[in-house]
Structure 1
Amino acid sequence: MKKLFVLNGGAAVKPGNKSAFLKIDDPLSTFARGGINTGDVLVYDAMLKALDYDQVSNIQFAHAGDESLWPKQDYDATVIRGSNYLTESVDIGNVIPLLKKLKGPIVPVGVGAQAAKYKKLEMPKGSVEAWKIIADKCETIGVRGVYSAEVFNDIGIKNIRIIGCPSFYRGLRPSIEIKPLDPANARVGLTLNRYLSADYASNATKTNRMQRALIQAVARREKNRLYSQGEREETLAIYETGEEKQKHIQGILSKYDLMGDKDVEALMSDRMQAFFDVDEWAADAKKNVDVLVGFRLHGNVIGLHQGIPAVFFTYDLRIRELSTLFAIPSVEVEDYMPIDLEKIFENADFTKVQHVYRLNYAEYHQFLTENGLNHVLPKPVASPPEKPITKPNLVQMDPKLDDVTGWFQGEVDYMTSEIEVLRQRAWRLELALREHTKADGAAKKLAS
């Protein structure tokens, strides 16, 4: 029996070990406590589909310090589900005792760095030590992109291979063919991200304003739909009814300053979906959308691996390095241009995606093979790339002057009103502080 141990899988495994899902019997109580990133489940699912083991066990990084949860038997291999482990704020030093205890290879699959903009990362000492132990226990570490490889190089780890994210290869095909797209009539699938700031957005204001404009553009097409990728408020809005449902919808509309927009409200009331089973999520996208857009990485990948075209909106280093590595057409939020879905789809070049995918697939196949992992990937139809792509496949837009002028006038008006709101808040705070100081002074006089 071939046995696999997984670090940080983060989901349940179906019988047969080929698919991952979340065990959620009561979505309302679960999401009342917080959101869940179903993109992580997609990554785990894609790994399971590629690997071939009779038994799969899992422990989360958060629980790795509890020795009672450590495996009582030896495994043929250990894999680490890829995620944003290379950051200045996440220390995985608690995993070190378990790493030292595990026998056999420990292979990270799709590890990535997280930063808003390019910078040298000051990794926590515990993380550096943990990754050096892991590097000594595998042939190569599979990293997400060029920036992630550089971060490893900076801490002295050289045995890396740039494979992207395993979710891109979920279809287990050595090549993909992107389906043709009708820009005017395509059914669009949208994903949103309500928490884009700090290390997750190079410019939070531009990112969220662009996301707002995209919501409006998608909502105007009646056949378009919105996928909740584990977002708390969106998922609650799907499963709640009556007044509670409306309360959550109004909260989302308020977040994006879209109160009163009937098209957007209809999108969220009638055409919003959430899936906890990756197979069901993928099947729904295949059946109901012709193109995917949005601000969640895996909300686009759920279609791409099936040949459904997707356009990325790039706002941090993670999204930029992956969209660049796979030559996916992208719109850079820093350019801060008005949203015209039809023009974006007309100008998106997917021919590069098909070519580059074959090269990256060959790299992924070689990575799994050289690390001695049992896998079911068919043989590549191309050779691995001599070097990864470093130039993004930006969608070339030529907006009309009137469109740009109207867009920026509206944005300036919004920013001006926001500045005035902040000034009023600052003034009220100043008055409150003065009153507090006056009252405190009076109290001290009475006490003396």
Structure 2
Amino acid sequence: MARVLVMIPSGEVYDHDCVRWYNYKDVQRSIDHYHNIGDAFVFDSSLKLLNFDKLGVLPIADPKMEDIDRLRGEFDYVFLRGSNYVHNSMKWQKTIEVLKRLKLPVIAFGIGAQAPVKGKIELSEETITVLRMMAESSASIGVRGAYSAQVLWDIGIKNVRIVGCPTAFRKNDPNLAITLPPLEEIKQVGITCRREVSPAYAQDIKRYLTFHRDLVKECARRFDVVLMAQGEVEEKKIVFGTPEQGEEAIKALRANKWVGDWFMDDEIEKLYRERLFYSDVVADYEALVQQKDMVLGYRLHGNLMALANGTPSIYFTYDSRTVEFAETYQIPSYDVFSKKEFKLEDYYDQSLFDKFNRAWHMTYREMKTFLDENGIDNKMADVRHVPAKPKQAAAQPAEPARKVA
């Protein structure tokens, strides 16, 4: 069994390989701070693929070099939790200094590049140096898709393998496949919401938010829906805050120019008050998607969590990250900025999900190969020898979150 360091974790670990946000029981401590629980999905899923008996955190902010020397003797390798690290403004703190001192293999576990809306991606010398150090220390770097692979290739890093994201494979089932029931049987639907948006990545904020609003309302009229938030401050206050904080959050959303003008109307407000879900515990999201007939929306990892559990999901793409995920796994997806009208029936199509099933199987094999070639002890089954597993009963949420009617 391995002794593993994680660089840039996202949450606290419990029960060996489960993740929840820091101090999750003390809601008020973090209620005014944004954190994307989707990052914790990736951390949790990464741990579920690995065999290890010791887990530690590699400090890169204010490290003491004598501690780095100690860690070198106590651990076997480092993994960098998959995320959107390869972009114009990434700050690595003292990573270069730490890795030079540590001298352990560094495994990039499904990292990705973020393209700007306009122009070519420009990486700092610091980012290029960190990426090259990781590539030189390992057999291969795992990236989420073809765009990220090309960005690394362009800076001379060629030992790249496209592995997608650990969240897709968290169940360690090489035979997972999505089989669609008739659309008329779909009743319970999760909508992964992301109303916070940056003009650096989304080319048309008004279109992004108005389409999002109309999608939520259309689904709510057609299905029994739950709105799945992932860490925005106002959404947390509505779910977990005091009644006063909840009202304050609604007022703040109404007062925000973009959100108030293009997203939060009376119908959305009612849904926010009655149908919003948020939790600081990854297991709660997994239990939720297991209970749904379908999940769709804007959130990368919320949608991927659903697919990993055999629940059909449709992506709505709006930047290079979302497009890259959809392309890697061939997930049925709709471009939010296209001129084409969205009709659910066009995407709820078994032939489209058959493409996903094939791509998922191939990417599973690539992830398994990536871990094996880097000498990482892992739980991923050999795709050639494992029989299909019967579908398991859905788990119940492990921690309290807003109950929906």
**What's the TM-score bracket when you normalise by the shorter of the two chains?**
0.7 to 0.9
Distance (whole Å) between structure 1 residues aligned to residue 196 and residue 129 of structure 2: 30
**Cα pair distance change 1:25/1:363, threshold 3 Å:** same
**C-alpha deviations, 1:227-268, integer Å up to 9, x for none?**
111121111100124343233235445615455533x23321
Question: Between Structure 1 and Structure 2, which shows a larger proportion of helix residues?
Answer: 1
- SS for the counterpart of 2:224 is coil
Equivalent position of 1:365 in the other structure: 368
Distance (whole Å) between structure 2 residues aligned to residue 121 and residue 103 of structure 1: 29
Equivalent residue letter for 2:238: A
TM-aligned CA deviation for residue 93 of structure 1: 5.8
Equivalent position of 1:91 in the other structure: 91
* 1:105 correspondence with 2:105: yes
**C-alpha deviations, 1:18-56, integer Å up to 9, x for none?**
222113222233121x21111110101111000011000
Distance (whole Å) between structure 2 residues aligned to residue 133 and residue 316 of structure 1: 28
- SS for the counterpart of 2:239 is helix
* 1:283 correspondence with 2:287: yes
* 1:76 correspondence with 2:76: yes
TM-aligned CA deviation for residue 123 of structure 1: 0.7
- Decide whether the 8 Å contact of 1:59 with 1:69 is kept in 2: no
* 1:53 correspondence with 2:52: yes
Equivalent position of 2:18 in the other structure: 19
- SS for the counterpart of 1:172 is coil
In the TM superposition, 1:225-236 aligns within 5 A as: 225-236=226-237
- Runs of at least 5 residues in structure 1 that lack an aligned partner in the other structure: 383-448
In the TM superposition, 1:182-331 aligns within 5 A as: 182-184=182-184, 185-221=186-222, 223-252=224-253, 255-257=259-261, 258=263, 260-262=265-267, 264-287=268-291, 289-331=292-334
TM-aligned CA deviation for residue 10 of structure 1: 1.8
- SS for the counterpart of 1:92 is coil
Q: Which moved more, 1:251-260 or 1:155-164?
A: 251-260
* 1:6 correspondence with 2:6: yes
- Decide whether the 8 Å contact of 1:64 with 1:70 is kept in 2: no
**Cα pair distance change 1:232/1:337, threshold 3 Å:** farther
Distance (whole Å) between structure 2 residues aligned to residue 216 and residue 66 of structure 1: 52
RMSD: 2.3
**Greater gyration radius:** 1
Equivalent position of 1:391 in the other structure: none
- Decide whether the 8 Å contact of 1:28 with 1:236 is kept in 2: no
Distance (whole Å) between structure 1 residues aligned to residue 69 and residue 232 of structure 2: 32
TM-aligned CA deviation for residue 124 of structure 1: 0.5
Distance (whole Å) between structure 2 residues aligned to residue 346 and residue 2 of structure 1: 43
Equivalent position of 1:28 in the other structure: 28
**Cα pair distance change 1:339/1:234, threshold 3 Å:** farther
**C-alpha deviations, 1:320-341, integer Å up to 9, x for none?**
0110110000001121444444
TM-aligned CA deviation for residue 302 of structure 1: 1.3
**Cα pair distance change 1:361/1:152, threshold 3 Å:** same
TM-score by length of 1: 0.78
Distance (whole Å) between structure 2 residues aligned to residue 149 and residue 5 of structure 1: 24
- Decide whether the 8 Å contact of 1:300 with 1:310 is kept in 2: yes
TM-aligned CA deviation for residue 117 of structure 1: 4.1
Distance (whole Å) between structure 2 residues aligned to residue 193 and residue 71 of structure 1: 42
In the TM superposition, 1:285-434 aligns within 5 A as: 285-287=289-291, 289-342=292-345, 344-345=347-348, 349-381=352-384
**C-alpha deviations, 1:91-143, integer Å up to 9, x for none?**
32631011111233111101100124475322101111111111110110001
**C-alpha deviations, 1:370-403, integer Å up to 9, x for none?**
0011101100239xxxxxxxxxxxxxxxxxxxxx
- Decide whether the 8 Å contact of 1:292 with 1:300 is kept in 2: yes
Instruction: Say how many residue pairs are matched.
Output: 377
Equivalent position of 1:395 in the other structure: none
- SS for the counterpart of 1:72 is helix
- Decide whether the 8 Å contact of 1:120 with 1:151 is kept in 2: no
Equivalent residue letter for 2:287: A
Distance (whole Å) between structure 1 residues aligned to residue 59 and residue 238 of structure 2: 29
State percent identity of aligned pairs.
31
* 1:156 correspondence with 2:156: yes
**Higher relative CO (CA 8 A, sep ≥ 6), structure 1 or 2?**
2
Q: Which moved more, 1:321-330 or 1:183-192?
A: 183-192
TM-score by length of 2: 0.86
- Runs of at least 5 residues in structure 2 that lack an aligned partner in the other structure: 386-405
Distance (whole Å) between structure 1 residues aligned to residue 218 and residue 360 of structure 2: 29
Equivalent position of 1:174 in the other structure: 174
**Cα pair distance change 1:55/1:131, threshold 3 Å:** same
**Cα pair distance change 1:13/1:358, threshold 3 Å:** same
**C-alpha deviations, 1:51-87, integer Å up to 9, x for none?**
01100011465x2555476462321111110111111
**Cα pair distance change 1:259/1:11, threshold 3 Å:** closer
**Cα pair distance change 1:359/1:235, threshold 3 Å:** same
Distance (whole Å) between structure 2 residues aligned to residue 81 and residue 155 of structure 1: 21
